[in-house]
Amino acid sequence: MGLKGWGTSLLLLAGYPLASRYALSRGWGSAWLGSLLPVLVYLFLLILFADTLRVGRVPMISRFAQMEQGELTEELSIYTRRLTAIWCVFFAGMAVLTMGLAAWAAPEVWFMHTFFVSYLLIAVLFLGEFAYRRWRYPQYRHASPLQLLRNIRKHGLH
């Protein structure tokens, strides 16, 4: 992530405690403030991934693919750029949905979404993409999802 991306992310993360202090001083409930943390996580991930879609940058999913494939073909470069954009849309949608549930749904609904459904949706996108990629690109090597996570842990996100 570039300096601007990190600056935006740090501003977002620093803004949470400041906004919390302001909201509490105005009498807003701390339970509501706690519901903002998952929204901030999704916004941070959105910024992290979207920053890599700028011209001249290597998209986040392309980085993951390079850990497995080495240099990417044009076909895979296009695919991984689009997939990075899909994850950005997913993170943006999850931030909006989580915020909407925090504002207007019963606390139990927000809790179920935040601590169960959201993880299920992440797994569906992650594993669904893996299955699609194996079907769509059988000519390429495909590490297991577990191996991909190990690669990311080993090499980091940069």
Domain membership of residue 121 as a residue range = 3-155
**pTM of the predicted structure, to 2 decimals:** 0.81
SS3 for the chain is CCHHHHHHHHHHHHHHHHHHHHHHHCCCCHHHHHCHHHHHHHHHHHHHHHHCCCCCCCCHHHHHHHHHHCCCCHHHHHHHHHHHHHHHHHHHHHHHHHHHHHHHCCHHHHHHHHHHHHHHHHHHHHHHHHHHHHHHCCCCCCCCHHHHHHHHHHHCCC
Is the pLDDT reported for residue 142 higher than 70? yes
pLDDT band with cut points at 50, 70 and 90 for residue 35: confident
Structure-block tokens of residue 93? 């949608």
pLDDT 10s digits, 39-66: 988 998 999 999 999 999 999 999 999 9
C-alpha 3/C-alpha 80 separation (Å) is 23
Q: How many structural domains comprise the chain?
A: 1
**Contact (Cβ atoms closer than 8 angstroms) between residue 120 and residue 53:** no
The tens digit of pLDDT for each residue in 106-124 reads: 888 988 999 899 999 999 9
Q: Which residues, at least 6 apart from 97, have a Cβ–Cβ distance to it below 8 Å?
A: 113
Does residue 123 contact residue 129 with C-beta atoms inside 8 Å? Answer: no
Closest CA to 156 of 48, 84, 71: 48
